Chains A and B, each alone.
Chain A
C-alpha cells in the first residue's frame, strides 16, 4: 500500500528532490553507484536477508 501510493502518476509525491531538493550536497554525500546497490539488493533478497513486511 505504501509503495503503490508513492508512485501514483501526476502526484510527484515520491519525488521530493524535485519539490524540495535534498541536503546531500550540504552534508557532503558521495554520488552512489546504482549497479552496485542493485547487486546488493538482489543478493540480499535471494539469500533471505531481507525481513519484515510493510503494508
Chain B
C-alpha cells in the first residue's frame, strides 16, 4: 500500500477482512523490528503498530502477523539517495558514519517467499511428536526474514562490482545518521514532510 494512501485505508481493510471472516491478517508494515519499541517510536511507527494490532484483536480476527524484513533491498538501493544513499545518475554516495553499521535487508522475491511460505504452512501441529513449522508458531507475532546482513560499504562494494566502477568514479559525502534522523524528525513534526 502506498505511503501516500489515506491514513484510515489500513483500518478499512482490516475491518473489511474481519467482517469477511479472514483468519489471518498481515497488515501493511514498514518491515521494522516490531518488538523494538524505541526504534518504532523514533520512526513514528509505534502508534500505527499498536492501533493496527489492537484493532485486529478487538475485531476477533484469529491472528495478526507482522513481517519483519526491514527495508526492501531493490527499492532502497535504486530509489534515490535518501534511502541507502546511492544516486546512480550522479554516481554519488552518502555514507552515514563511515558506512559500517550492519543491517538486515530483504529482496522482493524473498518477501514473496515469506508470505507464500507462511500461507502454505499447516496451522497446527499434528501431534506432540510433530516438529514441523506451523502457522500457529507465529500467532500474533513477528516473522523475521532477511536476504542480506550488510553495511553501506558492503553494498558499495557490490555496486562497484556490478557497475565496473572504482572509488575514484564516485563522489562520497559523509553524514551523521543520528543528526540526519533528528533533522528529518524535526521537519516531520513541523508538518513539512514532502
Give A residues with C-beta under 8 Å from B. 1-9, 11, 13-24, 26-29, 32, 34-35, 37-46, 50, 52-55
Contacts and interface: CB of A to CB of B under 8 A. Distances in A.
Q: Choose among B32, B74, B83 the residue with the greatest number of A CB atoms under 10 Å from its CB.
A: B74
A2 B193 contact: no
B103 A7 contact: yes
B150 A34 contact: yes
Contacts of A7: 96-97, 101, 103, 152, 177
A14 B101 contact: yes
Q: Choose among A4, A23, A52 the residue with the greatest number of B CB atoms under 10 Å from its CB.
A: A4
Contact of B79 (A1, A26, A29, A52): A52
B104 A14 contact: yes
Contact of A5 (B102, B133, B181): B181
A14 to B, nearest CB: 3
